[in-house]
Amino acid sequence: CFSISKLKDDYLVASFDSRNTAQRSERVFRKSPFLLFTRQIMVRLYIAYIRTETIMKDYIIKATAFNYQVRAYAIRSTNTVDEVRRRHELKSLPTIAIGRAMTATVLLNSMLKGNEQLTVQINGGGKIGTLLIDANTNGDVRGYVTNHQALTDEENETLSVKEVVGGFGTMTVIRRNGNNTPFIGQIPIINGEINEEFTSYLYHSEQIPSTMLVSTIIDDDLTVEAAGGFMIQLLPGTNSKLIEDI
């Protein structure tokens, strides 16, 4: 259970109750642009654990602010992405690519309700092939890189993520409701940069002004040191002054 207990000067004090113990601890954060949402109205704050076949402590935080004019999501996906890397024996660049895509898909999936499912296919024509990600509203997510073994060690060291993803192709998002009826949205790939592709999809297909930033950091031993990101959305009726401030 997470709660905001104090907000004064330039610091935010938050309390955290462990799910496994009765201990309660406080942490002090210097206010950032994201934490400034708490200065107005943070109505709801949820933590939902991403489930995989092993017990992992990845989570999503959802929040609304400014009288429901702004919606924000933040995610930690480190363990989930590292599990995909381990199972598929991925090099660093495919790990970063699928890590960003999986994290972004889970953020996008957080907007769904009920028993809906989401499938994202990113085919940019790059050497690692298509990125495939499935997610559902229970928090389950899986991802696969169709041609990750085609990348040589030299290419893995010298190319960028967007180069191996590719900048010519399509991003397809398939939403299925409880009756398994598909709703398909498709946009052209911009440049292979995962953040820009998902932001473009939200703007053109969902018509929601949004910004998304996801990242995956690889450690020296090729394990995933950190993975996560955030998404901020402006809801209908957001006043122009608030948009300028954000």
Contact criterion met (CB below 8 Å) for 133 and 145: no
Comparing 1 with 118, the larger pLDDT belongs to 118
| Contact indicator for 230, 74 with CB cutoff of 8 Å | yes
pLDDT digits (tens, 9 = 90+) for 146-193: 999 889 999 999 999 999 999 999 999 999 887 878 899 999 999 999
Quick one: pLDDT at residue 106?
94
Helix (H, G, I), strand (E, B) or coil at 33: coil
As given in the structure block, the two tokens for residue 99 are: 């890590």
Of the candidate ranges 9-13, 56-60, 83-87, 192-196, the one whose mean pLDDT is the lowest = 9-13
CA atoms within 13 A on the CB side of 224: 27
What global pTM score does this model have?
0.76
pLDDT of amino acid 24: 43
Give residue 56's pLDDT.
Answer: 53
The tens digit of pLDDT for each residue in 209-219 reads: 888 999 999 99
Percent share of the chain, pLDDT over 90: 53
pLDDT tens track for 15-28: 444 444 444 444 44
Res. 29: pLDDT tops 90 = no
Residue showing tokens 């919606």 = 71
